A and B are shown apart, each in its own frame.
Chain A
């Protein structure tokens, strides 16, 4: 019996979320990493609080990108190691559907969690409360885009021994537009300027990758799985 696409999607997302919540340390580690990295910058630069605000958008975004990257490795790895991914691929469902479901679930437990935690970091970096909405929206769009780019990278590096380093090497250059527009949106929100341009660009990138990246990630999985 073959499940309908919607049901299969819901089942995979449910399974991924269950797996994540049963290993809460895996959920927390990228977030703690995010906090530690943002703590390191002020310590290393020994700045006044007022100067901190100038570098805050960059620090926040670099830390967010690195922390998301850290968790990307686990997107397909666990399932590829124990053979679940092969079973899913043979299940008769479209492989693209499986990739979309896994990536969405992954974003929910990593990207969205990062967005929820970001106000704490923002407060520590002296970002004014008025800028929080823009910052969180830009982080949400940015981490979702990064999850899609990362799905391509993770698909390509499954089963490689030093896959994690290679994954960063592949994904980070492609993610530079996110850093530029995400930090620009946050910076403009802090200074009170119009953030519409940067946010629209982030949203455009997000829609663009959401549309095309699933097929690229599927092709990547087909190459590494067979």
Chain B
């Protein structure tokens, strides 16, 4: 019953699964993002205060959520790899880090583009912007640590440990930044995503979120394939897989 689960520890099996899943995930992502973009950008009503500028939410919020989700995936994969010494875990973590960092960067860039007309400045020391920035720094730290070692196995484990340490720290950083902000200023805190959001705005957003999740899955599959191939380049099955 559990064999499908145990098999996930085997690189050739994971390579095959990733190759099989990739097109489905990418297709689903394309559908969900297409619906979200068309409904969100063309059909959703403009916000009564922010006008059309609120439409940034359809890229910004899913990107911000995904930057955290990807971190959780990376930390979970790292923990699995450290505790049970499963090499595929390192491959998943290494494949996830740049994707998560890109989502964090995207959330920051779209947030500051939205901030220009709304706040009158590209950057405000809003708690969520600031903790997103720190999350990006942590991603960069994990990626640099992995690449700093000459022995890739050692770099993998060092980066995995840092990812696990970071997962304990991310909530602390987030709440202390929120607390810090409440000490200094309160005026710029803009509450997006109020529960009174009408369905015509909300459904495209949920669809975009689903689309981003599927897109992450698709990119993860491709990157994991590349990671596994690179890590197992001495193995016989890789030669078979490349020939066919």
Are the CB atoms of A177 and B158 closer together than 8 Å? no
In whole angstroms, how far apart are the Cα atoms of A150 and B166 in the complex?
A: 13
In whole angstroms, how far apart are the Cα atoms of A173 and B168 in the complex?
A: 13
A101 close to B (CB within 8 Å): no
Stretch of B108-116, B177-185, B204-212, B217-225 lying at the A interface: B177-185
CB proximity to B under 8 Å, residues A131-173: 152, 156-157, 160, 162-163, 166, 169-170, 172-173
Are the CB atoms of A169 and B173 closer together than 8 Å? no
CB proximity to B under 8 Å, residues A166-196: 166, 169-170, 172-174, 176-177, 180-181, 184
Are the CB atoms of A205 and B158 closer together than 8 Å? no
Are the CB atoms of B141 and A177 closer together than 8 Å? no
Are the CB atoms of B141 and A173 closer together than 8 Å? yes
Q: What's the tally of chain A residues with a CB closer than 8 Å to chain B?
A: 25
Q: In the complex, what's the smallest C-beta–C-beta distance from B83 to chain A, in angstroms?
A: 11
Are the CB atoms of A174 and B169 closer together than 8 Å? yes
Q: What's the tally of chain B residues with a CB closer than 8 Å to chain A?
A: 27
CB proximity to A under 8 Å, residues B142-176: 144-145, 148-149, 154, 157-158, 161-162, 164-166, 168-169, 172-173, 176
A97 close to B (CB within 8 Å): no
A224 close to B (CB within 8 Å): yes
In whole angstroms, how far apart are the Cα atoms of A212 and B161 in the complex?
A: 13
Are the CB atoms of A156 and B177 closer together than 8 Å? no
In whole angstroms, how far apart are the Cα atoms of A184 and B178 in the complex?
A: 13
In whole angstroms, how far apart are the Cα atoms of A70 and B134 in the complex?
A: 21
B237 close to A (CB within 8 Å): no
In whole angstroms, how far apart are the Cα atoms of A218 and B26 in the complex?
A: 42
A219 close to B (CB within 8 Å): yes
Cβ-neighbour of B137 out of A152, A173, A184, A219 (below 8 A): A173
CB contacts (< 8 Å) of B141 on chain A: these are 166, 169-170, 173
Knowing that A201-B176, A224-B158 touch, tell me 17 more A-B residue pairs with CB under 8 angstroms: A152-B161, A156-B162, A160-B148, A162-B148, A166-B148, A173-B138, A173-B173, A174-B138, A174-B169, A176-B173, A176-B176, A181-B179, A184-B180, A216-B161, A220-B158, A223-B157, A224-B154
